[in-house]
Amino acid sequence: MIDTHAHLTALDDPNEAIRRATEAGVTQILTVGTDVDDCRRALSLAERHDGVFAILGIHPHEAGTSTADDVASLRDLLAHPKAVAVGETGLDWFRDYAPRDDQRRLFAAELELAAEFRKPVVIHTRAADDDTLTALADHPGTVVLHCFSSPHMLPLALERGWYVSFAGNATFPKAVDLRLAATQVPAERILAETDSPYLAPQPVRGKRNEPANVVHTLASLAQARGDDPAELERQIEQNAAECFSLP
Protein backbone atom coordinates (compact mmCIF):
# COMPACT_ATOMS: atom_id res chain seq x y z
CA MET A 1 0.00 0.00 0.00
CA ILE A 2 1.03 3.62 -0.47
CA ASP A 3 0.41 6.68 1.71
CA THR A 4 0.23 9.49 -0.85
CA HIS A 5 0.49 12.36 1.65
CA ALA A 6 2.33 12.37 4.96
CA HIS A 7 4.43 14.92 6.82
CA LEU A 8 7.14 12.51 7.98
CA THR A 9 9.33 15.39 9.13
CA ALA A 10 6.62 16.43 11.62
CA LEU A 11 6.77 13.03 13.36
CA ASP A 12 8.91 12.49 16.45
CA ASP A 13 10.85 9.64 14.84
CA PRO A 14 10.32 9.40 11.09
CA ASN A 15 12.58 6.36 10.73
CA GLU A 16 10.54 4.40 13.29
CA ALA A 17 7.31 5.49 11.59
CA ILE A 18 8.67 4.26 8.25
CA ARG A 19 9.60 0.95 9.88
CA ARG A 20 6.11 0.53 11.36
CA ALA A 21 4.56 1.46 8.02
CA THR A 22 6.61 -1.22 6.26
CA GLU A 23 5.47 -3.76 8.86
CA ALA A 24 1.85 -2.78 8.12
CA GLY A 25 2.45 -3.30 4.38
CA VAL A 26 2.75 0.42 3.57
CA THR A 27 5.91 0.28 1.48
CA GLN A 28 5.70 3.66 -0.27
CA ILE A 29 5.23 7.04 1.37
CA LEU A 30 5.06 10.46 -0.24
CA THR A 31 6.32 12.95 2.33
CA VAL A 32 5.36 16.59 1.99
CA GLY A 33 7.62 19.56 2.72
CA THR A 34 5.91 22.78 3.78
CA ASP A 35 8.75 25.30 3.50
CA VAL A 36 12.24 25.30 2.00
CA ASP A 37 14.00 23.84 5.05
CA ASP A 38 11.28 21.24 5.50
CA CYS A 39 11.60 20.31 1.80
CA ARG A 40 15.31 19.70 2.33
CA ARG A 41 14.50 17.41 5.26
CA ALA A 42 11.87 15.61 3.17
CA LEU A 43 14.42 15.01 0.42
CA SER A 44 17.02 13.73 2.85
CA LEU A 45 14.50 11.15 4.12
CA ALA A 46 13.72 10.22 0.52
CA GLU A 47 17.43 9.77 -0.15
CA ARG A 48 17.76 7.36 2.77
CA HIS A 49 14.64 5.25 2.11
CA ASP A 50 13.86 3.59 -1.22
CA GLY A 51 10.09 3.74 -0.70
CA VAL A 52 9.98 7.40 0.33
CA PHE A 53 9.44 10.16 -2.24
CA ALA A 54 9.05 13.90 -1.72
CA ILE A 55 6.33 16.39 -2.56
CA LEU A 56 7.92 19.81 -2.35
CA GLY A 57 6.17 23.09 -1.75
CA ILE A 58 5.61 26.11 0.41
CA HIS A 59 2.36 25.76 2.34
CA PRO A 60 -0.23 28.54 2.02
CA HIS A 61 0.16 29.13 5.78
CA GLU A 62 3.76 30.20 5.05
CA ALA A 63 2.81 32.57 2.23
CA GLY A 64 3.13 35.70 4.38
CA THR A 65 6.81 35.12 5.16
CA SER A 66 8.02 33.35 2.04
CA THR A 67 10.13 35.31 -0.43
CA ALA A 68 11.04 35.14 -4.10
CA ASP A 69 14.33 33.59 -2.95
CA ASP A 70 12.35 30.79 -1.30
CA VAL A 71 10.53 30.08 -4.55
CA ALA A 72 13.89 30.04 -6.34
CA SER A 73 15.25 27.55 -3.78
CA LEU A 74 12.15 25.41 -4.20
CA ARG A 75 12.78 25.45 -7.93
CA ASP A 76 16.33 24.13 -7.38
CA LEU A 77 15.08 21.37 -5.07
CA LEU A 78 12.47 20.22 -7.58
CA ALA A 79 15.26 19.02 -9.86
CA HIS A 80 16.00 16.24 -7.35
CA PRO A 81 15.19 12.78 -8.78
CA LYS A 82 13.03 11.89 -5.77
CA ALA A 83 10.91 15.05 -5.99
CA VAL A 84 7.65 13.77 -7.48
CA ALA A 85 5.22 16.69 -7.17
CA VAL A 86 4.77 20.33 -6.21
CA GLY A 87 2.74 21.12 -3.09
CA GLU A 88 0.93 21.24 -1.02
CA THR A 89 -0.14 24.60 -2.32
CA GLY A 90 -3.44 26.41 -2.60
CA LEU A 91 -5.60 28.79 -0.61
CA ASP A 92 -6.78 28.67 2.98
CA TRP A 93 -9.43 31.24 3.86
CA PHE A 94 -10.37 29.24 6.97
CA ARG A 95 -7.29 29.73 9.09
CA ASP A 96 -6.18 32.83 7.20
CA TYR A 97 -2.65 32.47 8.62
CA ALA A 98 -1.25 34.48 5.71
CA PRO A 99 -2.63 37.51 3.85
CA ARG A 100 -4.84 36.39 0.97
CA ASP A 101 -2.92 38.28 -1.69
CA ASP A 102 0.30 36.59 -0.57
CA GLN A 103 -1.43 33.20 -0.73
CA ARG A 104 -2.69 33.91 -4.25
CA ARG A 105 0.77 35.01 -5.41
CA LEU A 106 2.53 31.98 -3.93
CA PHE A 107 -0.09 29.60 -5.34
CA ALA A 108 0.40 31.07 -8.82
CA ALA A 109 4.19 30.75 -8.52
CA GLU A 110 3.93 27.10 -7.45
CA LEU A 111 1.52 26.32 -10.28
CA GLU A 112 4.11 27.73 -12.67
CA LEU A 113 6.77 25.47 -11.16
CA ALA A 114 4.51 22.45 -11.54
CA ALA A 115 3.94 23.31 -15.19
CA GLU A 116 7.63 23.97 -15.81
CA PHE A 117 8.71 20.64 -14.28
CA ARG A 118 5.67 18.80 -15.67
CA LYS A 119 4.95 17.46 -12.22
CA PRO A 120 1.56 17.05 -10.57
CA VAL A 121 0.41 19.73 -8.16
CA VAL A 122 -1.02 18.76 -4.76
CA ILE A 123 -3.77 21.12 -3.67
CA HIS A 124 -4.70 22.33 -0.19
CA THR A 125 -8.00 24.22 -0.23
CA ARG A 126 -9.99 25.28 2.79
CA ALA A 127 -13.02 27.58 2.69
CA ALA A 128 -11.60 28.90 -0.58
CA ASP A 129 -12.92 26.39 -3.10
CA ASP A 130 -14.24 28.89 -5.67
CA ASP A 131 -11.01 30.87 -5.68
CA THR A 132 -8.99 27.66 -5.85
CA LEU A 133 -10.99 26.51 -8.86
CA THR A 134 -10.49 29.87 -10.55
CA ALA A 135 -6.73 29.74 -9.98
CA LEU A 136 -6.61 26.22 -11.44
CA ALA A 137 -8.83 26.98 -14.43
CA ASP A 138 -5.99 27.22 -16.96
CA HIS A 139 -3.52 24.90 -15.26
CA PRO A 140 -2.32 22.42 -17.86
CA GLY A 141 -0.94 19.67 -15.62
CA THR A 142 -2.05 16.89 -13.29
CA VAL A 143 -3.94 17.98 -10.17
CA VAL A 144 -4.43 16.13 -6.88
CA LEU A 145 -7.03 17.34 -4.38
CA HIS A 146 -5.39 16.38 -1.09
CA CYS A 147 -7.42 15.60 2.06
CA PHE A 148 -10.58 15.83 0.02
CA SER A 149 -13.24 17.62 2.06
CA SER A 150 -15.29 19.57 -0.50
CA PRO A 151 -17.92 17.26 -2.04
CA HIS A 152 -19.44 20.14 -4.03
CA MET A 153 -16.15 20.43 -5.95
CA LEU A 154 -16.34 16.82 -7.05
CA PRO A 155 -18.27 17.13 -10.34
CA LEU A 156 -15.90 19.78 -11.69
CA ALA A 157 -12.83 17.94 -10.36
CA LEU A 158 -13.88 14.75 -12.14
CA GLU A 159 -14.73 16.63 -15.31
CA ARG A 160 -11.18 17.99 -15.32
CA GLY A 161 -9.67 14.58 -14.64
CA TRP A 162 -8.18 15.46 -11.26
CA TYR A 163 -7.15 12.89 -8.68
CA VAL A 164 -9.12 12.87 -5.43
CA SER A 165 -7.22 11.83 -2.31
CA PHE A 166 -9.12 10.80 0.82
CA ALA A 167 -7.63 11.17 4.32
CA GLY A 168 -8.58 9.94 7.80
CA ASN A 169 -11.49 12.37 8.10
CA ALA A 170 -13.36 10.29 5.49
CA THR A 171 -13.51 7.45 8.05
CA PHE A 172 -15.22 9.47 10.82
CA PRO A 173 -18.77 8.30 11.62
CA LYS A 174 -20.26 11.68 10.67
CA ALA A 175 -18.43 11.93 7.33
CA VAL A 176 -21.26 10.35 5.37
CA ASP A 177 -20.88 13.00 2.64
CA LEU A 178 -17.20 12.18 2.11
CA ARG A 179 -17.87 8.45 1.83
CA LEU A 180 -20.67 9.20 -0.61
CA ALA A 181 -18.17 11.26 -2.63
CA ALA A 182 -15.77 8.30 -2.50
CA THR A 183 -18.38 6.15 -4.21
CA GLN A 184 -18.59 8.69 -7.06
CA VAL A 185 -14.87 8.86 -7.88
CA PRO A 186 -13.93 6.61 -10.80
CA ALA A 187 -11.53 3.83 -9.79
CA GLU A 188 -8.67 5.32 -11.80
CA ARG A 189 -8.85 8.69 -9.97
CA ILE A 190 -8.98 7.71 -6.30
CA LEU A 191 -6.04 8.02 -3.87
CA ALA A 192 -5.64 7.53 -0.12
CA GLU A 193 -3.41 9.33 2.36
CA THR A 194 -2.90 9.88 6.07
CA ASP A 195 -1.84 13.55 6.21
CA SER A 196 0.22 12.38 9.21
CA PRO A 197 0.60 13.54 11.92
CA TYR A 198 -2.90 15.00 11.58
CA LEU A 199 -6.35 13.47 11.18
CA ALA A 200 -5.82 9.92 12.45
CA PRO A 201 -8.58 7.68 11.04
CA GLN A 202 -11.01 5.51 12.96
CA PRO A 203 -10.18 3.39 14.98
CA VAL A 204 -7.06 5.31 16.04
CA ARG A 205 -8.77 8.69 15.93
CA GLY A 206 -7.37 11.26 18.33
CA LYS A 207 -3.91 9.68 18.35
CA ARG A 208 -0.93 11.07 16.50
CA ASN A 209 -1.29 9.81 12.96
CA GLU A 210 1.40 7.97 10.98
CA PRO A 211 1.61 6.34 7.54
CA ALA A 212 0.85 2.79 8.80
CA ASN A 213 -2.70 4.02 9.49
CA VAL A 214 -3.53 4.49 5.81
CA VAL A 215 -4.76 0.88 5.90
CA HIS A 216 -7.74 2.03 8.00
CA THR A 217 -8.69 4.68 5.44
CA LEU A 218 -8.31 2.12 2.67
CA ALA A 219 -10.65 -0.28 4.49
CA SER A 220 -13.25 2.43 5.02
CA LEU A 221 -13.11 3.53 1.36
CA ALA A 222 -13.39 -0.06 0.14
CA GLN A 223 -16.40 -0.65 2.37
CA ALA A 224 -18.12 2.56 1.21
CA ARG A 225 -17.51 1.69 -2.45
CA GLY A 226 -18.33 -1.97 -2.13
CA ASP A 227 -14.85 -2.76 -3.44
CA ASP A 228 -12.68 -5.69 -2.49
CA PRO A 229 -10.01 -4.08 -0.22
CA ALA A 230 -7.13 -5.88 -1.95
CA GLU A 231 -8.42 -4.78 -5.33
CA LEU A 232 -8.81 -1.13 -4.22
CA GLU A 233 -5.30 -1.25 -2.75
CA ARG A 234 -3.90 -2.44 -6.06
CA GLN A 235 -5.90 0.22 -7.89
CA ILE A 236 -4.65 3.04 -5.63
CA GLU A 237 -1.05 1.85 -5.99
CA GLN A 238 -1.47 1.92 -9.75
CA ASN A 239 -3.12 5.36 -9.68
CA ALA A 240 -0.33 6.77 -7.51
CA ALA A 241 2.36 5.25 -9.71
CA GLU A 242 0.78 6.85 -12.76
CA CYS A 243 -0.01 10.21 -11.16
CA PHE A 244 3.42 10.69 -9.53
CA SER A 245 5.48 8.70 -12.08
CA LEU A 246 6.69 6.34 -9.35
CA PRO A 247 8.92 3.37 -10.21
Q: Which residues bind Zn ion (CB under 5 A)?
A: 195
Spatial contact of 153 and 129, defined as CB atoms under 8 Å apart: yes
Q: Which is nearer to Zn ion, 78 or 227 (CB)?
A: 78
CB of 211 to Zn ion, least distance (A): 12
Query: Longest C-alpha distance within the chain, in Å?
Result: 48
Distance CA 121, CA 141 (A): 8
Q: Which is nearer to Zn ion, 199 or 227 (CB)?
A: 199
CB of 5 to Zn ion, least distance (A): 6
CB of 160 to Zn ion, least distance (A): 21
CA distances from 4 to 79, 108, 128, 133, 210 (A): 20, 23, 23, 22, 12
Closest CA to 32 of 167, 182, 233: 167
Q: Which is nearer to Zn ion, 70 or 195 (CB)?
A: 195
CB of 179 to Zn ion, least distance (A): 21
Q: Which is nearer to Zn ion, 195 or 237 (CB)?
A: 195
Q: Which is nearer to Zn ion, 56 or 227 (CB)?
A: 56
Distance CA 168, CA 176 (A): 13
Closest CA to 51 of 2, 88, 120: 2
Cα 241 vs. chain centroid, distance in angstroms?
A: 14
